[in-house]
Amino acid sequence: MEPLVPKLILVPTDLSEPAAHALRYASALGERFDAHLLVIYADPFVPPVDFTASAAGVFQLSRDVMIDSAREELQRHAEENIAEDVPFDVRVIVGEPLDSILAQVRESGANLIVMGTHGRTGVRRLLFGSVTEAVMRVAPVPVIAVNPAATITAEVKKVLSLMTFTPACRDALLRASALASDADVPFVLLTNVESPDAHMGALELMRLERWVPEELAGRAELKLVSKDEDSILQVAADTGADLIALGVPAGRNFAESLRGTIAERVVQRSVCPVLTVNAYVAGVVPVEERELVTA
């Protein structure tokens, strides 16, 4: 695993305020790590479903105007939300957002994605999906998701993580360590316990202690929590964590498609940025074998 020191940060945007908030966070990261930002806006720019063939020529003309207008708006969006000393480029792409984001990662060599989220839940998420959550599951590089409530400081002085004992989870921990503000930043590591039995809790803590990466030994506080996002977010608030690091699964069952995985629900509500790593980033599944699940 290569250390996560941001060099080129890809920042997809839909020009909304939540996306602007994430762009300001990416700017703070860029300033801290002397990184370059690539800000992209992707849209298929397709005609309405009732468009007639006779209007195709007119649409092509108006489509060119829409693309030029989007490019001007994207430039303003970037200038308003990126610090003056952070270098950036903007790019308007004609295409579906998810496919365009993945293609830009490959073409640009970006080693980190920063995205905002609108926090869709329930049926709205099942019908419309979430581009950010899809990117979290299938991107070939780590993703930092930033919701509108999250702070935008790039300083990382305490990291919280829910341990799922997977390679993606371990990878997320080590990459979060590379983002830390200094070498002895403390980590709060959580593990789920289903039973109130004290003996079972002690065994789970011992398992967690054995699993902690050697690099983090001596600066990790271990805690038991119930298996829900409320407990995780409460500990994050109580401990003052300013980054949550999570390993995320590539697939989901039906209930998770409707309600979201724990990782996705944490992203929707977290008041600090959330660093996510999937199985492709961790090298468990080759990127070539990725199956896109966008819902």
Q: Is the pLDDT reported for residue 48 higher than 60?
A: no
At residue 154, the pLDDT reads 87
Residue 215 belongs to some domain of the structure: yes
DSSP assignment string, 10-43: EEE--SSHHHHHHHHHHHHHHHHHT-EEEEEEEE
- Pick the more confident residue, 123 or 228: 228
Q: Whole-angstrom Cα distance, residue 15 to residue 78?
A: 9
At residue 83, the pLDDT reads 96
Domain interval for residue 264: 8-289
Residue 74 belongs to some domain of the structure: yes
Residue 23 belongs to some domain of the structure: yes
Residue 161 belongs to some domain of the structure: yes
Burial letters for 5-39: b for 16+ Cβ neighbours within 10 Å, e otherwise?
Answer: ebebbbbbbbeeebbbbbbbbbbbbbebbebbbbb
- Pick the more confident residue, 49 or 286: 286
Question: Does the reported pTM lie above 0.85?
Answer: yes
Nearest to 295 by CA among 128, 116, 121: 128
Burial letters for 173-188: b for 16+ Cβ neighbours within 10 Å, e otherwise?
Answer: bbbbbbbbeeeebbbb
Q: Whole-angstrom Cα distance, residue 27 to residue 29?
A: 5
Residue 3 belongs to some domain of the structure: no
Query: Where is mean pLDDT largest: 24-28, 165-169, 184-188?
Result: 24-28
Q: Is the pLDDT reported for residue 145 higher than 60?
A: yes
Q: Whole-angstrom Cα distance, residue 23 to residue 115?
A: 8
Give the contacts of 201 (CB within 8 A, at least 6 positions apart).
Answer: 193, 195, 224
- Pick the more confident residue, 200 or 283: 283
Residue 164 belongs to some domain of the structure: yes
Residue 84 belongs to some domain of the structure: yes
Q: Is the pLDDT reported for residue 8 higher than 80?
A: yes
Q: Whole-angstrom Cα distance, residue 30 to residue 24?
A: 10
Q: Whole-angstrom Cα distance, residue 202 to residue 199?
A: 5
> What DSSP element (H or E) covers 237?
helix 229-239
Q: Is the pLDDT reported for residue 133 higher than 50?
A: yes
Share of the chain above pLDDT 70, in %: 80
User: What backbone phi and psi angles, to 5 degrees, belong to 132?
Assistant: -60, -45
Q: What is the mean pLDDT of residues 8-22?
A: 95
- Pick the more confident residue, 159 or 200: 159
DSSP assignment string, 246-282: EE--S---HHHHHH--HHHHHHHH-SS-EEEE-TTTT
At residue 192, the pLDDT reads 76
- How many domains, the chain? 1
At residue 98, the pLDDT reads 93
Residue 220 belongs to some domain of the structure: yes
* Strand, coil or helix: 113: strand
CA distances from 225 to 188, 195, 196 (A): 12, 11, 11
Q: Which two tokens stand for residue 108?
A: 């640009």
CATH of the domain at 237: 3.40.50.12370
